[in-house]
Amino acid sequence: MDLDQITGQLIATVLVVIAMVVTRVMAARVITRANWDSLDTSRRWMVQSRNLIIGVGLLALVFVWAEELRVIGLSLVAVAVAVAISGQDVIRSALASIVGATSKVYSVGDRIIVGDVRGYVVDQKLVLTKLLEIGSGNVRTGRVISIPNSRLLTDPVVNETAGHKYILHSVKVPVRRDEWQRAQRILREAAEEASAPYVEGAKAQMDALAREHALPQPIVEPFVLAKPADADTVELTVRVPAEAQYVWRVENEILQAWLSSGAGEPGSTSSV
């Protein structure tokens, strides 16, 4: 093997790495200084640019070391077989990552549920996806959960935002049968007030989706459905439009209005 050739390849490798680092830094500066619609869009571009730079850099290194890789190719086959046997989870995760990227199951900024884990996607890598966890009451816990991408092939994945800003959120409230009409009125008024800033934006988004997929236009305005749960209880379902990132606030305002009304307490009235 020619020493000059190896020296040239090493120099080329160093230059490729330097180019990757410089490009990454410049791309990060451009992205952070740009005026994006939201932080989710900025974060999505950061992740995509990083993955693109790494991919192009690895491809360049393959070309630089093509001859050497060809020579050791047969040995790598044997190693690959051993790795395939011992590292099936890694292979499944990488495959799931490719499937997720090509089918656009989710992207950075989306709110998803994978099995029993729920959260906002903050990073996507070949093997892992990182979520900012959402706990009970639709409130962020502050914890970042890393889940293997292999779960995309085994667990159901629910994208609650699908890359869109607004969602239609439901809140269930059980009430006594003798006060369900009063409760329905209180919850409807609270829902209308809490969701007022989001109705027009949600309506525009839902109308666009309906036209794109040839679907009926959904009801966006807040409403309350009543369903008997048992002989003494009625379950009221409040459906409201909201921005995905503020859905916890809308839900809290509705429930606070209901609890502040004194409904359900001993001596509360059932008049409408």
Where do we find the tokens 């890694």?
Answer: 90
C-beta of residue 243 within 8 angstroms of C-beta of residue 138: no
pLDDT in tens, 222-241: 999 999 988 899 999 999 99
How confident is the model at residue 105, as a pLDDT?
A: 78
The pair phi, psi for residue 73, each rounded to 5°, is -60, -45
Cα(122)–Cα(63) distance, integer angstroms? 32
Question: What are the residue ranges spanned by the domains of the chain?
Answer: 166-260
How confident is the model at residue 269, as a pLDDT?
A: 37
Helix 39-64 and helix 3-33, axial crossing angle in degrees, nearest 10: 170
Cα(130)–Cα(136) distance, integer angstroms? 19
Decide which of 191 and 10 is more confident: 191
How confident is the model at residue 268, as a pLDDT?
A: 39
Cα(180)–Cα(210) distance, integer angstroms? 33
How confident is the model at residue 271, as a pLDDT?
A: 31
CA separation, residue 233 to residues 178, 197, 230, 260 (Å): 9, 32, 5, 20
**Per mean pLDDT, which range of 95-104, 170-179, 187-196, 238-247 is the poorest?**
95-104
For the chain, report the end-to-end CA distance as a whole number of angstroms: 91
Give the whole-number percent of the chain exceeding pLDDT 90: 25
Closest CA to 122 of 145, 99, 148: 145
Considering the four listed CATH numbers 3.40.1710, 3.30.70, 3.90.660, 1.10.150, the one that applies to the domain covering 166-260 is: 3.30.70
Average confidence (pLDDT) over 123-141: 83
pLDDT in tens, 145-166: 998 888 877 888 888 887 678 9
pLDDT in tens, 29-72: 888 888 777 676 777 788 888 888 888 888 888 887 777 666 66
pLDDT at residue 78 is higher than 60: no
Average confidence (pLDDT) over 164-186: 90
**What pairs with residue 169 in β-bridges?**
240
